[in-house]
């Protein structure tokens, strides 16, 4: 008798189906795009000094910081310029010294002839010659001083050139290209290294023409970068109003709230919320399949009815579907032997 009672309870439990009504829920509409991380600004680093590249401290892909030495230009020519400039300073100093000595002699002659002139021992003309000679020697001192100042300025320029032999990074960035190799000539104004500015990091993606009308500047987005396993809050920074003629897609750029550890070229998945929609949602575990068709069983006057559905989206344990109406009672975890038309009593 006990075994019969246990069996009867088991049969009742198998026939007790759990059902919940489908409901309407407001869901956000999200579009996703494949993109990448890139640097908006690039800096072309050149030398102010002509010479051969003596040392190259970076390779393409290296991350550098402001002040890091990128490359060194052979300073041999600079030292030759410095030595010539120093010789010019010494020559100008000697010229100034000779001018001062000549002025001192002219000053003595002027003083002596002034006394003689006042006593009437020499003529006005002779005295005027001594006075003119002293004025000439004075102007020669000024000229020699100007030449010395010019020579010192030339030396300082030559010394300043020495510091240009070591070229440092002007920014925090990553080396994206080397234009010159060791032992090749570096020419002023011609870039040797190209850097991508890490402070200008952004994300970008090509958006198909059917979606671009749903995007606007300032719109919120989320950028997922798998290389650093980060979801980064972002927003649309610009939409380039010119489509790629081959793909008919538009370039959209996104401003990132966090640029830490990001490098140009990293793959990014970009998610943009383009609005809201009302959909019928059911528990995920109400889904089943029959004959390869995804659907749910609903209560149709106490009988099971299999209804094929299209899954629109999933949010945790709920799925939005099309094919049933709000209020329809769906069976949770329908057993494999449940078939269309079976009684639910």
> Do the beta carbons of residue 199 and residue 260 sit within 8 Å?
no
> Do the beta carbons of residue 73 and residue 47 sit within 8 Å?
yes
> Do the beta carbons of residue 58 and residue 193 sit within 8 Å?
yes
> Do the beta carbons of residue 4 and residue 334 sit within 8 Å?
no
Task: Domain 31-40+198-275: give its CATH superfamily.
Answer: Efflux pump adaptor protein, beta barrel domain (2.40.30.170)
User: Between the CA atoms of 143, 149, 152 and 153, what dihedral angle is there, to the nearest 10 degrees?
Assistant: -120
How is domain 12-27+277-331 classified at the architecture level of CATH?
Answer: Beta Barrel (2.40)
Q: Output the pLDDT for position 284.
A: 93
Q: Output the pLDDT for position 31.
A: 86
Name the DSSP letter for residue 120.
T
Q: Output the pLDDT for position 294.
A: 94
CATH code of domain 49-75+165-196: 2.40.50.100
List, for residues 135-189, the tens digit of each pLDDT value.
999 999 999 999 999 999 988 888 888 888 899 999 989 999 999 989 889 888 8
Give the phi and the psi of residue 75 in degrees, each rounded to 5: -90, 15
> Do the beta carbons of residue 255 and residue 234 sit within 8 Å?
yes
> Do the beta carbons of residue 319 and residue 311 sit within 8 Å?
yes
Q: Output the pLDDT for position 12.
A: 40
Q: In the numeric block, which tokens belong to residue 100?
A: 């001062």
- Look-up of token digits 């949010």: 315
CA distance 88 to 195: 40
Give the phi and the psi of residue 106 in degrees, each rounded to 5: -65, -35
State the alpha helices, DSSP H only, in the chain.
2-15, 76-118, 124-163, 209-212
- pLDDT band at 5, cuts 50/70/90? very low
Q: In the numeric block, which tokens belong to residue 149?
A: 């100042």
CA distance 229 to 238: 25
Residue 203 buriedness (CB in 10 A; 0-12 / 13-18 / 19+): buried
Which of 313, 316, 262 has the alpha carbon at shortest distance from 31? 313
Q: Output the pLDDT for position 230.
A: 93
CA distance 77 to 79: 6
CA distance 251 to 205: 6
pTM: 0.57
Residue of 68 and 119 predicted with greater confidence: 68
CA distance 311 to 295: 9
Q: Give the SS3 label for residue 61.
A: coil
- pLDDT band at 248, cuts 50/70/90? confident
The mean of the pLDDT values for the chain is: 88
- Neighbour count for residue 240 (Cβ, 10 Å): 14
């Amino acid at each position: 008798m006990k075994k019969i009672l246990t069996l009867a309870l088991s049969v009742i439990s198998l026939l007790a189906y759990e059902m919940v009504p489908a409901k309407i829920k407001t869901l956000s509409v999200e579009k996703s795009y494949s993109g990448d991380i890139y640097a908006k600004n690039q800096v072309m680093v050149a030398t102010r000094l002509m010479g051969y590249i003596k040392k190259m401290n970076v390779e393409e892909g290296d991350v550098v910081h402001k002040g890091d030495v990128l490359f060194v230009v052979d300073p041999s020519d600079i030292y030759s310029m410095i030595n010539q400039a120093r010789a010019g300073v010494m020559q100008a100093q000697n010229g100034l010294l000779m001018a001062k000595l000549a002025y001192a002699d002219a000053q003595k002659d002027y003083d002596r002839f002034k006394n003689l002139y006042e006593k009437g021992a020499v003529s006005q003309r002779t005295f005027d010659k001594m006075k003119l000679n002293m004025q000439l020697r004075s102007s020669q001192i000024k000229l020699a001083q100007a030449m010395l100042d010019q020579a010192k300025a030339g030396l300082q320029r030559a010394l300043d050139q020495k510091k240009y032999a070591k070229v440092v990074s002007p920014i925090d960035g990553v080396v994206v290209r080397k234009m010159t190799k060791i032992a090749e000539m570096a020419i002023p104004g011609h870039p040797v290294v190209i850097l991508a500015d890490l402070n200008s990091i952004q994300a970008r993606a090509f958006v198909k023409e059917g979606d671009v009308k749903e995007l606007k500047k300032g719109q919120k987005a989320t950028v997922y970068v798998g290389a650093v396993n980060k979801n980064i809050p972002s927003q649309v920074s610009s939409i380039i109003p010119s489509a790629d003629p081959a793909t008919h897609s538009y370039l959209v750029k996104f401003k990132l709230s966090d640029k830490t550890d990001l490098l140009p070229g990293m793959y990014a998945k970009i998610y943009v919320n383009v609005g809201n929609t009302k959909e019928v949602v059911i528990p995920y575990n109400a889904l089943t399949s029959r004959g390869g068709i995804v659907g749910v069983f609903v209560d149709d006057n106490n009988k099971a009815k299999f209804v094929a559905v299209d899954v629109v989206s999933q949010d945790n344990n709920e799925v939005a579907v099309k094919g049933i109406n709000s209020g329809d009672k769906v069976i949770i975890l329908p057993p494999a032997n449940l078939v269309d038309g079976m009684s639910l009593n």
